[in-house]
Structure 1
């Protein structure tokens, strides 16, 4: 891609933008001025600054972020070499990551997907690439509604068992059928490819026909089509004695309630949300003194 250095008037605007950070900067302002002065022909569209409360060992506390075009990988390379280093290339992503006078210099750009060899970036996922592994199945979350995708075409009972465990152990909820809907109807099988674009850590999933090179069997569980119920530690129904974990919310009373799971009972009673009493330090110390006295020869 052609480099696009800022025009002289643009450089003045960039400097003015950088100086607006004056009240929050910690050396980034001087570095920004220096870069504009020393490298006026390199592409640049803006600045940002950042600071870390607890940087990793060997990493700078304060950084200056250079804004380039989203796909200006040539610009990233030019800046890196001007500063005496090479770009960090991870898949389709190019990063500038260096330090100048104690200030981190950072920038990134990505090769457009249309110009990237996507076929060469297709991979078979392992447990390190997905959200979790359960019952021997590779499972990852997708979307923001609690939906899951499984690698393979496992039996529906396995998909439902893993989905139930995920909602119970990770979300603290129970997934139930909603309005007569059968949860198994939310399971859809198909084929797809895992593509390491822009990087393997930020892979993308593409639905493809079965005969596409690199296609894997996949199963989607659209759990959003079910109904969720909060769960608690097991308690016993005061009416019938059956153990219950189900919770609901009483809109009229404005409080959470337990639900008895027995179809013959269905009793509801309020959740005790009062905080547990603080330990009696004086009594605890007294018991410790008693134990010490008993242990004494």
Structure 2
């Protein structure tokens, strides 16, 4: 454990840094002085502060953050025991979370990857580890492209149903294929390893071979290879009467329009909240500008 005994000059430097916080409370400053006075040999780089307008029941409103080295878990343990408590260990993350004179005392450090037993940290996900359970499938979103990761190798129809439900209920969108593909083309089977690092709530996924000891079957739905479309309240197509929820914008006027879900119909009509008669357009016709439904309603 690194020991940095704060000499008087260093103590003053650390306190001077702390006093620069505009929202510093007197109690936080007093707690910092007491910690430096009573535990001069414990590792400490600097202080930070935090406050909560509505703290949880039993929790202090104001806290003092002890900044140690990012991987100084031994330092976390030393501070915890000096304050008559034990470190809170969740996976590779070690935390100090206590109070002193009604001021919260908080610190955190993590075990480096090179020193952490990743094999022991591997696990099989449950419903508590993923974004949602849809149709009995464990589904979690992945990355910024909207890709979905599904635990197991379920049938294609179940993957498509779960994908549709996720985008409809969570995102308010419909996921549609483009460039002559179908959504089933975006489904990819794989094997992966789930590792509780830094913690199980912050797990990471590694692709592995099927024969790996911790291999878990997974299915990817790659949304980045699709087109997402806004959806609204169900509305019947005025031409073929097929109900649909697809919404888009007219390419020329920018007006909000409904899209018929039938590939054989392909009609488009304005989202008309004023009761004007819809101006229909067939898929294979030239697309004229849609009528201004507001003016239409007032004529």
**TM-score of Structure 1 vs Structure 2, range by shorter chain:** 0.7 to 0.9
Q: Distance in 2 between matches of 1:6 and 1:144?
A: 45
CA contact (8 A) 1:22 1:29 kept: no
Residue 53 of structure 1 is matched in structure 2 by 53
Q: 1:23 to 1:197 in 2, by over 3 A?
A: closer
Residue 21 of structure 2 is matched in structure 1 by 21
SS in 1 for 2:128: coil
How many residues are paired up?
274
Residue 290 of structure 1 is matched in structure 2 by none
The alpha carbon displacement at 1:85 in A equals 1.3
CA contact (8 A) 2:2 2:43 kept: no
Cα root mean square deviation, aligned: 2.1
Residue 196 of structure 2 is matched in structure 1 by 196
Q: Which structure 2 residue ranges, 5 or more long, are not aligned?
A: 275-299
The alpha carbon displacement at 1:87 in A equals 0.9
Which runs of structure 2 are paired with 1:225-264 in the superposition (5 Å)?
Answer: 225-250=225-250, 252-264=252-264
CA contact (8 A) 1:247 1:259 kept: yes
The alpha carbon displacement at 1:183 in A equals 2.1
The alpha carbon displacement at 1:240 in A equals 4.6
The alpha carbon displacement at 1:268 in A equals 2.7
TM-score for the superposition, normalised by structure 2 = 0.84
CA contact (8 A) 1:3 1:74 kept: no
TM-score for the superposition, normalised by structure 1 = 0.84
The alpha carbon displacement at 1:5 in A equals 4.5
SS in 2 for 1:234: strand
Using the TM superposition, name which of 175-184 and 23-32 deviates more.
Answer: 23-32
Using the TM superposition, name which of 65-74 and 40-49 deviates more.
Answer: 40-49
> Structure 1, residues 173-215: CA drift from partner, whole Å, max 9, x if none?
1000022233222222121111122222222222112111121
Q: 1:4 to 1:159 in 2, by over 3 A?
A: farther
Using the TM superposition, name which of 152-161 and 224-233 deviates more.
Answer: 152-161
The alpha carbon displacement at 1:152 in A equals 1.1
Using the TM superposition, name which of 265-274 and 227-236 deviates more.
Answer: 265-274
> Structure 1, residues 137-186: CA drift from partner, whole Å, max 9, x if none?
22211112211111111122221121111111111110000222332222
The alpha carbon displacement at 1:7 in A equals 5.9
Q: 1:189 to 1:263 in 2, by over 3 A?
A: closer
Q: 1:262 to 1:183 in 2, by over 3 A?
A: closer
Q: Distance in 2 between matches of 1:84 and 1:151?
A: 43
Q: Distance in 1 between matches of 2:179 and 2:9?
A: 63
Which runs of structure 2 are paired with 1:47-126 in the superposition (5 Å)?
Answer: 47-126=47-126
Residue 279 of structure 1 is matched in structure 2 by none
Q: Distance in 1 between matches of 2:85 and 2:64?
A: 16
Q: Distance in 1 between matches of 2:86 and 2:196?
A: 22
Residue 142 of structure 1 is matched in structure 2 by 142
Residue 182 of structure 2 is matched in structure 1 by 182
Q: Which structure 1 residue ranges, 5 or more long, are not aligned?
A: 275-297
